[in-house]
Amino acid sequence: MIQPVLLWSDALLFVLIAAIVALVFWARRQDALRAAWGRVLKDGMAMAAATVLAVFVLIGLLDSLHYRARLPAQPGAAARYAVEVLSALDALLSDLRQRSEKTYSAPLATHLFAREALENSTQREFPRLKHGGAHLGADLSNHEFDIAVRVSRGCAGGLLVWLLLVSAWCRWRGVAVVEMLKVGACRPAVSTHPGFRFAAGERNPQQTESGTAIRPVFLTLLPILLLFGIAIAVGGGYHVFGTDKVGQDVLYLSLKSIRTGLLIGTLTTLVMLPLAVLLGILAGYVGGWVDDLIQYLYTTLSSIPGVLLIAAAVLMMQVVIDTHPEWFATSAERADARLLALCLILGMTSWTGVARLLRGETLKLRELEFVQAAQAFGVGRFAIMRRHILPNLMHIVLIALVMDFSGLVLAEAVLSYVGVGVDPTTISFGTMINTARMELAREPMVWWSLAAAFSFMFALVLAANLFADAVRDAFDPRASA
Amino acid sequence: MLAYIIRRLLYAIPILIGVNLLTFALFFVVNTPDDMARMQLGVKRVTPEAIEKWKAERGYDRPLVWNSAAAGGAKLTETILFSKSVRMFVGDFGRADDGRDIAREIGDRMGPSLAIAVPTFVLGLFVAISFALLLVFFRATALDISGVVLCVAMMSISGLFYIIGGQWLVSKVWHLVPISGYSGGFDAAKFVILPVIIGVIGGIGASTRWYRTIFLEEISRDYVRTARAKGLPERVVLFRHVLRNALIPILTGVVVVIPTLFMGSLLTESFFGIPGLGSYTIDAINAQDFAVVRSMVFIGSVLYILGLLLTDISYTLADPRVRLQ
Amino acid sequence: MSILEVRDMAIHIREARPVDGVSFDIAAGECFTLLGESGCGKSMTALGLMRLLPAAAQVASGSVSFEGTDLLALPESGMRDIRGGGIGMIFQEPATSLNPVLTVGRQIGEALELHAGLRGAAARARAAELLDLVGIPDPLRRLDEFPFQLSGGLRQRVMIACALAGSPRLLIADEPTTALDVTIQAQVLDLLDELRRKQDMALLLITHDLGVVARMADRIGVMYAGQLVEEAPRAQFFTQPAHPYSVRLFAALPDAERRGGRLATIPGSVPAAEVRHAGCRFADRCSEVMPECRNAPPPWREIAGGQRVRCVLPGAAPAVAAGVGAGDTAAHAETRPLLSVRDLQVHFPIRRGLLQRAVGAVRAVDGMSLQLLPGRTLALVGESGCGKTTAGKAMLQLIRPTAGSVQLDGVELTTRSTHELRPLRAKMQMVFQDPFASLNPRLRIGDIIAEGMQALGTGGMGDSGGVGSDRDTAAKVGPLLEQVGLRADMVSRYPHEFSGGQRQRIAIARALAVHPQLLICDEPTSALDVSVQAQILNLLSDLQRELKLAYLFITHNIAVVDYLAHEVAVMYLGRVVEYGSADEVLRSPRHPYTKALLAAVPRVDGAKSEVPKLAGDMPSPAKPPSGCHFHPRCPLADAACRLSYPGETRFGATQVVRCFKA
């Protein structure tokens, strides 16, 4: 039927997921870590943010299951597969993907955005869209009514799914639905959000007594499901966010951009983490010339302005890729290689901050008495670093991981704009904005591509920021004291 | 103190050498000049003669690090390493692809860059610190909470949005200032004002939140309790005691960027058509003008290292514990 | 006429009740002390009076009346006039309680401006006067200095000067000398006492130290778990404490009389502030508890002479220490020293200038020699900064000595490489000061204790290590835990679940796991409350008896030394100035420093010694004074002392003193 394709970035992403799962199991056995995650789970704002993130991650994962479709078999010939690499998400959204128009059209429009000379007429008119509103036929009088019907149908569908989920959960946990949603059963943590760390303690007792803050999860799921319902219902007949210059559906592009954003946000940090951790701990614990050398290394690297170093490295990488076209079988692989290279470059330029932080923390830990106690037993250097230093730095590593994520997602857009981002054929927020920017001068403005890209990016980054805040506050030893 | 500064200056030298070697490696070793020529002239069907001509025009036809054909000291100087990298130490950046002298171009473009960057920096710092102080003064109230939510929301918005949205609203809808362009003298004001405001707004979320954290950390210290026990009003505690101490960590984060203000802002300058170093860099990247990119990398790191040095000095001035020991 | 009246004050931090109904009065000019162990709510009470509580805490009920004004009803602006003007306050940590970036003059000046309306030259003159009043030499120069340029004792004096700037009628001193050395503590206590009399100022002194109470108090309030449990004038309190808790606090104090015996301990620990109490708060730890104690809180009961107590017992029985002192039983049979240190030096280079050349050295340890016999306890005594901790770590080769020799059981350690040292490490171990920093929070108790056995291969049969030793190791952890008074089933817990005393037990078990002969104990009880300290001291002396351990006991606490040491070495600025048996050194000290050190310790019987108190601070070990290091502070010093360092003079059997005047 199909031929699965495993791109390098997919492989890394799955490795990453496996690592996270393994880490979760490891953390469950570690008291302190479990307690810290417990604090995150009890934080309403964090759980709401995590819900939004989970939806994004789900879309990103669906988009990472790549395959090549089998071409219609010719009798007698061996099976052949399409050149185009598709993903599970593409399959789900095949309607959106295939129903492209000729060029720009506004959201929910039935006609193209610009007048064109029609074949059988001398006048320039707005041509009808091939797909948007096609089901209405010639009679456009009930265009708005049709949209209203679709919106309410979508809402109803979303609500139904939500109610099903809620009741399923309540049945599983043996709680009455009303009870679970009652205010106070598990207070939304707006006033107690740890981002606002006020005094000695800020969490209310109701939260410490109850377990996971499940209510915010469902309250966040409700609007998400409603939006999904509307998008499905309306998207069946119209282009919800309009179409871009080559007539592609903007909603489709936005959904496809999520994977790129997620990859850049996570892989980058992971690429640099092992190096940063190793060098940071070595510099801090071993000291002497090792410390001098590592410090020299990261001061030199960090003294080059980030964007310029990235630009220089990306330019050079481009030359390498362009001069070796034979390395890549498909254009998807080529774009993927470029994406990975970008992650690598971003990682190489940004490990310095984490390494410096870890070095400083190691210097403090090294003087602590439990390290000296280990030294008094003659425990070897590397055993001390592994047993005593590293586990006590993990919270910093984790905080760095989540705090960097949102910055990297935003950076991708800027880099793509500067021209040193992902491959122009890779769909990303940056490339969307970059292409849409050309049309800003148009009167009236083509605003929907920009609006869609910015709002998706905002939702993703805001959720990531809020979640990162909660994680930082939960893991920061000063907060848990 | 003087010995300290001299030592820091001496420490900067190996770092600059490191940066220089790194850029050299990146631009000439990872890809040979032949690769670059092929890329610039089009990958397919390019004649060896064309490549040689391209290299000769730019002075890339010399060996990388050792010219065995030359005589005496020229064995070292008649090389790409010396002519393209080492010469940067004396301000010789060579010529851009369009034939202009890069050093001159940089000199001309510094003014417009500074015209945007300095007001943005000063105003941004002032606004963010004031805003953070306000939040801390009303800490744990609804004002503080909504302020922080606003900060997080603002820092979750892409910088591109602020620029595009600002240009659209202020220039296209309200027609208050020209959408882009630049001119010298006092006329510059009308071109500068919008980029500056947008720059300040774009940076306010992250920096306010950071300053607020510093203030809150400082406010939980013992000496603040002592000050309150003296009967000082909260306003005095905040401005005399907390602000003075919080300025030390703020300084270390802020002073380092001052020299890099010369570099201008990539995004703002290119969107607003400001003929500064930021747009110069972007144009060079888009045109794949390696000589310019290489020069900007070097200048950028020189300025950053200068910033580190300034940080050290300002630190010794701000903190009596460092100054007097 | 009382100047301060506190009635039923309760402070809530959400569910917790750190202060739960406290009432007391302070008369004008009187010194009232709040005595109690950590976590009993003393500091919270003081902050509550001043309305300086952290944001999460609030005064839930009660009233505070200062000179007839209800402080809790005052608007914030009115309260600011009281703070500093009516009531001054000083805190425990002089190092962090002054603003590091403002000059001393500025910090005193702002209080003068606020409460005395003085500015400019007048304020400066008054500030200098205040510095002079608190005994700071050369006040005009000090006005322009920053806090980091002052020593701890001077900083605390500056704090006092700040508090005096508004001429308060009441001074609240929250553990004012806990962070200071004993000789400096004596200076500051004298100063507070003198100021109180001179200025006719009432003093609310908060402390955990019975010695300080005996030295300072007119009246005492004993706090336990958020409440006052006893209130008494000093004389009555020290002759016949009424509450069982007070009685046990006295019994837990180590001193020479209890030597070789066991100290009375209070089982368990202070209940958490979240706990709700139906009856007496002390019931769970009281040995004389009766059924009615658990039903209702005991009412106040007046005893003669202004003493009152919250206990139903007519008179608390004196605490009985389990097992009476068996005397000094350690045998002298062996004479070959287990540890022999000769001319040990540890210098840390000071790097300056362009090339970071070493321009000098901090002589942390500067030629010390001592010997420790198997099964004996040698106390290394000295004030902070005298190099005693560095010396201990240098003996263990945790810090490599600059010069000198350290021999363990006849084997020279200083010349061995890290690798060669490893087999010897099982013989000597260390117990650290801070029970919270000495256990890795990410490891289970079992892993912490097993670490040494695994590293040194002593977990398996013999020294083989190898396969199977892990299981053997695990099997040995349980008995070790029981040996130090914990339960064997605690192996899989993490350190944060344990209290300070329990953690110190775990640290001891970790050291014992490799069967050391020598245990270097670096202030093992200084972070603990007195009742917990007694438990640990009991444990240490039990272990010594059972396992014939030798202890090098590093401490600044003379009472602990008196209770447990066989030999004493007194350190000053990197050198041992006096050495001898505990009796010799503590009963008939020869060195003027030893004499002053002993005299500075506040005594529970309130007796004052006639030895003059030490003036000034210990000099920096980076530039020690010429000649005898002690001469700038020595009342007996003459020209010879300034010229050269005195050699050893021997007195009696073992006493060695380095002083020309001894």
Q: Is the pLDDT of residue B139 over 90?
A: no
**Which of C564, C566, C611 lies closest to C183, judged by CA?**
C611
Q: Band of the pLDDT at C92, cuts 50, 70, 90?
A: confident
Of A180, A204, A235, the last residue of a domain is A235
**Residue C344 Rama label (left phi>0; alpha psi -120 to 50; beta):** beta
What per-residue confidence (pLDDT) applies to C468?
A: 44
CB-based burial, A51-62: b 16+ in 10 Å, e otherwise = bbbebbbebbbb
Same domain? A317 vs A215? no
Considering chain A, what is the average pLDDT of its residues? 82
Q: What pLDDT, in 10s, does the model give residues A111-140?
A: 788 777 766 667 777 888 887 777 777 777
Q: Is the pLDDT of residue C330 over 60?
A: no
Most confident segment among A118-122, B5-9, C103-107, C646-650: C103-107
Of the candidate ranges A21-30, C151-160, C280-289, the one whose mean pLDDT is the lowest: A21-30
Distances (CA, A) of B101 to A63, B93, B108: 48, 8, 11
Does A215 reside within a domain? yes
Q: Kindly determine whether residue B245 and residue C114, on different chains, have CB atoms separated by under 8 Å.
A: no
- The residue in chain B having the minimum alpha-carbon distance to the alpha carbon of residue A314 is B285
Q: Band of the pLDDT at C462, cuts 50, 70, 90?
A: very low
Considering chain B, what is the average pLDDT of its residues? 85
Q: Considering CB atoms only, which of B38, B140, B260 is closest to A305?
A: B260
Same domain? A369 vs A448? yes
What per-residue confidence (pLDDT) applies to A210?
A: 47
Same domain? A382 vs A296? yes
Q: Kindly determine whether residue A414 and residue B160, on different chains, have CB atoms separated by under 8 Å.
A: yes
Q: Kindly determine whether residue C57 and residue A30, on different chains, have CB atoms separated by under 8 Å.
A: no
Same domain? A287 vs A351? yes
Residues in Cβ contact with C461 at an 8 Å cutoff, skipping those fewer than 6 apart: C469, C472
Same domain? A413 vs A357? yes
Q: What is the mean pLDDT of residues C405-421?
A: 90
What per-residue confidence (pLDDT) applies to C470?
A: 66
Same domain? A143 vs A201? yes
Question: H helices within B42-137, ranges in order?
Answer: 48-58, 74-77, 80, 102-137
Please give the Cα distance from C491 to C483 (Å, whole number): 13
Q: Is the pLDDT of residue A433 over 60?
A: yes
Domains in chain C, please, with CATH?
Answer: 1-217 (3.40.50.300), 339-442+494-657 (3.40.50.300)
Of A204, A235, A266, the last residue of a domain is A235
Instruction: Measure in Å the smallest separation between the Cα of A398 and chain C Cα atoms.
Output: 15
Same domain? A216 vs A304? no
Instruction: Measure in Å the smallest separation between the Cα of B304 and chain A Cα atoms.
Output: 6
Q: Band of the pLDDT at C319, cuts 50, 70, 90?
A: low
Same domain? A333 vs A404? yes
Instruction: Measure in Å the smallest separation between the Cα of A301 and chain C Cα atoms.
Output: 25
Does A65 reside within a domain? no
What per-residue confidence (pLDDT) applies to A184?
A: 47
Please give the Cα distance from C174 to C50 (Å, whole number): 12
Residue identified by tokens 């004499």 is C595
**Which of A369, A372, A320 lies closest to A341, judged by CA?**
A320
Of the candidate ranges B178-182, B194-198, C160-164, the one whose mean pLDDT is the lowest: B178-182
Same domain? A217 vs A297? no
Q: What is the mean pLDDT of residues C495-502?
A: 86
Please give the Cα distance from C19 to C6 (Å, whole number): 12
Percentage, residues of chain A above pLDDT 90? 23
Q: Band of the pLDDT at B324, cuts 50, 70, 90?
A: low
Q: Is the pLDDT of residue C79 over 90?
A: yes
Beta strand segments in C14-103, E: 16-27, 31-35, 57-66, 69-70, 87-90
What per-residue confidence (pLDDT) applies to A200?
A: 34
Q: What is the mean pLDDT of residues B79-100?
A: 79
Name chain A's partners: 3 or more CB pairs within 8 A.
B, C
Q: Is the pLDDT of residue C317 over 70?
A: no
Of the candidate ranges A150-159, C578-587, C610-619, the one whose mean pLDDT is the lowest: C610-619
- Which of C348, C442, C453, C492 to mutate to probe the A interface, most A CBs <10 Å? C442
What per-residue confidence (pLDDT) applies to C334?
A: 59
What residues in B contact A195, CB-CB < 8 Å?
148, 152
Of the candidate ranges A59-68, A149-158, C354-363, the one whose mean pLDDT is the lowest: C354-363
Tell whether C639 lies on the interface with B, counting CB pairs under 8 A.
no
Q: Kindly determine whether residue C398 and residue A205, on different chains, have CB atoms separated by under 8 Å.
A: no
Q: What is the mean pLDDT of residues B187-199?
A: 89
Please give the Cα distance from C661 to A148 (Å, whole number): 104
Q: Output the six-digit token pair for C294.
A: 């658990």
- The residue length of chain B stands at 325
Q: Which amino acid is at B95?
A: R
What residues in C contact B244, CB-CB < 8 Å?
99, 101-102
Q: Kindly determine whether residue A198 and residue B281, on different chains, have CB atoms separated by under 8 Å.
A: no
Q: Band of the pLDDT at A187, cuts 50, 70, 90?
A: very low
Q: Kindly determine whether residue C99 and residue B226, on different chains, have CB atoms separated by under 8 Å.
A: yes
Taking each helix axis from N to C end, the angle separating A369-376 and C445-456, rounded to the nearest 10 degrees, works out to 30
Does A194 reside within a domain? yes
Q: Is the pLDDT of residue C538 over 50?
A: yes
Report the SS3 class of residue C383: coil
Please give the Cα distance from C213 to C222 (Å, whole number): 11
Same domain? A231 vs A264? no
Same domain? A152 vs A284? no
Query: DSSP characters for B245-292?
Result: HHHHHHHHHHGGGTGGGGG--HHHHHHHT--SHHHHHHHHHHHT-HHH
What per-residue confidence (pLDDT) applies to C318?
A: 59
- Dihedral (Cα; B54, B57, B62, B64), 10-degree rounding: -70
The DSSP bridge pattern shows strands C219-224 and C227-233 to be: antiparallel
Q: What pLDDT, in 10s, does the model give residues A264-301?
A: 988 888 888 888 999 999 999 998 899 999 999 988 88
Q: Is the pLDDT of residue B130 over 90?
A: yes
What residues in A contact B157, CB-CB < 8 Å?
454, 458, 461
Does A466 reside within a domain? yes
Q: Is the pLDDT of residue A188 over 50?
A: no
Percentage, residues of chain C above pLDDT 70? 94
Q: Kindly determine whether residue A458 and residue B157, on different chains, have CB atoms separated by under 8 Å.
A: yes
Q: What ipTM is given for this predicted complex?
A: 0.86
Q: What is the DSSP letter of A130?
A: S
Q: What is the mean pLDDT of residues C12-32?
A: 91
What per-residue confidence (pLDDT) applies to C325?
A: 43
Surface-to-core class of residue B210, CB atoms within 10 Å of its CB (0-12 exposed, 13-18 middle, 19+ buried): middle
Please give the Cα distance from A348 to A350 (Å, whole number): 6
Of the candidate ranges A20-24, B204-208, C410-414, the one whose mean pLDDT is the lowest: A20-24
Q: Kindly determine whether residue B305 and residue A303, on different chains, have CB atoms separated by under 8 Å.
A: yes
Q: Is the pLDDT of residue C461 over 60?
A: no
Q: Considering CB atoms only, which of B7, B227, B233 is closest to C99?
A: B227
Considering chain C, what is the average pLDDT of its residues? 87
Q: Is the pLDDT of residue C511 over 50?
A: yes
What per-residue confidence (pLDDT) applies to C265?
A: 81
**Total number of domains in chain A:** 2
Same domain? A321 vs A395? yes
Of the candidate ranges B75-84, B103-112, B224-233, C307-316, the one whose mean pLDDT is the lowest: B75-84
**Which of B191, B168, B188, B169 lies closest to B180, judged by CA?**
B191
Name chain C's partners: 3 or more CB pairs within 8 A.
A, B
Would you list which residues of chain B are within 8 Å, Cβ to Cβ, of chain C?
3, 6-7, 10, 140, 221-223, 225-233, 236, 240-241, 244-245, 248, 318-321, 324
Q: Is the pLDDT of residue A14 over 70?
A: yes
Q: What pLDDT, in 10s, does the model give residues C591-616?
A: 999 999 998 888 887 676 677 778 77
CATH of the domain at A280: 1.10.3720.10
Range of the domain at A438: 256-475
Long-range contacts of C544-547 (CB under 8 A, 24+ apart): C544/C330, C544/C375, C544/C377, C545/C329, C547/C512
Q: Band of the pLDDT at C316, cuts 50, 70, 90?
A: low
User: Over the Cα atoms of chain A, what is R_g?
Assistant: 26
Surface-to-core class of residue C36, CB atoms within 10 Å of its CB (0-12 exposed, 13-18 middle, 19+ buried): buried
Q: Kindly determine whether residue A372 and residue C422, on different chains, have CB atoms separated by under 8 Å.
A: no
Q: Is the pLDDT of residue C651 over 50?
A: yes
Q: Is the pLDDT of residue A476 over 90?
A: no
What residues in B contact A464, CB-CB < 8 Å?
156
What per-residue confidence (pLDDT) applies to A178?
A: 73
Please give the Cα distance from A445 to A435 (Å, whole number): 14
What per-residue confidence (pLDDT) applies to A118?
A: 67
Segment holding C519, helix H or strand E:
strand C518-522
Q: Is the pLDDT of residue A190 over 70?
A: no
Question: H helices within A367-447, ranges in order?
Answer: 369-376, 381-384, 394-418, 429-437
What per-residue confidence (pLDDT) applies to A284?
A: 92
Does A241 reside within a domain? no
Of A203, A235, A267, the last residue of a domain is A235
- Count of C-beta atoms within a 10 Å radius of residue C245: 29
Q: What pLDDT, in 10s, does the model give residues B254-281?
A: 888 888 888 878 888 888 888 999 899 8
Q: Is the pLDDT of residue C352 over 80?
A: no
Does A212 reside within a domain? yes
Q: What pLDDT, in 10s, does the model give residues A322-337?
A: 777 788 777 788 888 8
Does A125 reside within a domain? no
Q: Is the pLDDT of residue C159 over 90?
A: yes
**Which of B216, C32, C193 lies closest to C49, judged by CA?**
C32
- The residue in chain C having the minimum alpha-carbon distance to the alpha carbon of residue A375 is C398
- Which of A319, A326, A418, A429 to mutate to probe the B interface, most B CBs <10 Å? A319
Instruction: Measure in Å the smallest separation between the Cα of B72 and chain A Cα atoms.
Output: 32
User: How would you list the strands of the sheet with C219-224, edge to edge?
Assistant: C87-90, C170-174, C202-207, C31-35, C219-224, C227-233, C308-309, C301-302
Q: What is the mean pLDDT of residues B60-77?
A: 76
Does A49 reside within a domain? no
